[in-house]
Structure 1
């Protein structure tokens, strides 16, 4: 069986510029991968079937699953007669704003590129991934990127300053469509994406912390007081900067001191189960 790592992502900035004619939103984001990852196992089948299983009972195992869609798309596009058994070993919490489904699809694309000997480039895989979901192209590349369009136009940038990332996900479900639907673009405070890009380029940790921003955060905070509590608790416990990732409900804190990481994690564990302390990965994926 071929195993592929599928890391989660966080948004250091997430800005929504306007609603497009195709009903997507025009966005501008700075994203980076973190060392919280699912593991995707792929094994060749001779019967042409796509069979998917997951260690998390709440993950769909049919055509609703992005990894399943990725395999079907490659199979149809390149007229592959072989099938695949896909095993998703979940570590990333689902519906968390961490691109769990998208990164599973991206890892499936990268893995099947090897298993089915397609010899596609990362750029070609990212283009295919864009047909599945807006976050899939970034997850194909990994590393750190400036994303525009509906999120599928990816420009690689330098790795951020090294630090710890503490994540906490409350037990609430968040609908991305509902959060975008509740957004009033005439009232939001837009993050300064250019300042964030400059902070990363100059490896300036304090400036990176200062420029964190997510226009979706206020919408989610109004709907889910649990997210407000986690954000407040993280700030009081000593995180250098705190932000919600994606449409939520996961909140992350940046911390440059390992001693403070333990204190923050312990404080959060009394409030919610899904708490993680990880590092940023920073580096792009390489083709096997």
Structure 2
């Protein structure tokens, strides 16, 4: 029996996650406490997106929601308060995430200075436009439409608990330390699946909500970054290389499945829910 064991949002792309007990499901991802997954993003002054790939210290930037604001903390600096209410006429900045361009709301000079101090590089914080949509590729969805905010590819990332257990079994066998689930930055963690069974699922259903895995998640070096300290360590991908490459992605090492919402947008997921699963073959 598959059950939902973790729900995680990442309000600021590539920064720390925010674990929640319940979350509403939208076509463009999870939302909880008035914020959406990957609703904010850090960019260069010219608008190019930033991630832990270049700035692993982003892992130590921790968002939380409190009294109508997103409070952001990081070691050695005062907490930054970002009101959730949107200004009537925000300044905008054209930003780039992979091949997509978005007219995003600029969060102002004070936020830019705060994040610049934390990362040691000039940057701007931007917010996805209210009511906007960033369509995702239909190449992997059999033509089904979907959208995301500032997520890399699709609105949800799913990983089974057993998959991490298998990874850690192989890491220990190679004399390496086990890694926690946060290295892989999922939105949905599911108990009760076989190792990497998520690769072969057609859908997961909870009431009216239908989550459809569509594309294996090709991994970059971020799983090497300790999410508590922002310090890179041994890269588990060298161990994964032996058995987790996918020919359909040109031999990329893959862990987890990118998913779209196939039905039930507006519904709520909660920890402990039973998920009905079906295989894609």
Shorter-normalised TM-score: what interval?
Answer: under 0.3
| Greater share of strand | 2
| Greater share of helix | 1
TM-score (norm 1): 0.27
